[in-house]
Amino acid sequence: MDNRATYGYRRICALLNRKLNEMGRPAVNHKRVYRIMRQNGLLLTRHTGKQRMLPHEGKVITLRSNLRWCSDGFEIACWNGQVVRVAFALDCCDREIISHVATTGGISGERVRDLMIESVECRFGPAVRLPHPVEWLSDNGSCYTARETIAFGQDMGFISCFTPVRSPESNGMAEAFVKTFKRDYVYVHDRPDAKTVIAQLDQWFEDYNEYHPHKGLKMKSPRQFIRSQLLTASCPV
């Protein structure tokens, strides 16, 4: 687990139990993992800061995949002063990062439209339109609210939804992902320049989708959760 230095005992326990399951061995209790990590000085420092909370209405999470996708962007500062800007699309049920775009320039409406196309192709294969309407939740950035972007999304079958002004918590799932991604991937890897960072992004997103335990998914990774959904759907009770 040396490459998971930012993981607490619950996520370490989830990864350990996956390995044990593959080996056909019984799972271990998270309390046992906690005791072992505490004895060896491997626990993370307890967070003591105050969480900033703003009131907002509605729920971001959905009960099934492909009902609502949220999107947001963030910046990665490189050691040489360059900045990589990333935009992504995330499913509000299974939390998978469906697609992403990255550039050293600004995230334009054209980039967001490319992101929409790639996301649809990743989930449904080459298609001109979505097989059913999907909500596209974002903030009020100009790249999302551009007339061309809204019209393009509508043509593909997206229902554009925007968070209230000055209330980023209304897109809390995307906000939480950015915090997690920076902590567990960006800050623990070398970032000498933009070229190096962009070359690592695909691997980081793939690792997140395939292995990252998520409390809201009962400590499954997004891809594990998707596979469990498919298994349940193919074996109705």
Residue 228 lies in a domain: no
The pLDDT value given to residue 56: 41
141 and 196 share one domain: yes
pLDDT digits over 144-154, tens only? 999 999 999 99
**40/102 Cα distance (integer angstroms):** 39
How does strand 134-138 pair with strand 97-103? Answer: unpaired
Residue 200 lies in a domain: yes
Q: Is the dihedral of CA 101, 158, 149, 70 positive or negative?
A: negative
Mean pLDDT across 97-125: 96
104 and 38 share one domain: no
Structure pTM? 0.79
Mean pLDDT across 106-122: 96
With bands split at pLDDT 50, 70 and 90, how would you rate the model's confidence at 3?
low
Could you write out the three-class secondary structure of 125-184? CCCCCCCCCEEEEECCCHHHHCHHHHHHHHHHCEEEEECCCCCHHHHHHHHHHHHHHHHH
Residue 143 lies in a domain: yes
**Which H or E run contains 111?**
helix 109-124
Domain enclosing residue 186, as ranges: 68-217
Q: Which of 13-27, 41-55, 159-173 has the lowest mean pLDDT?
A: 41-55
89 and 17 share one domain: no
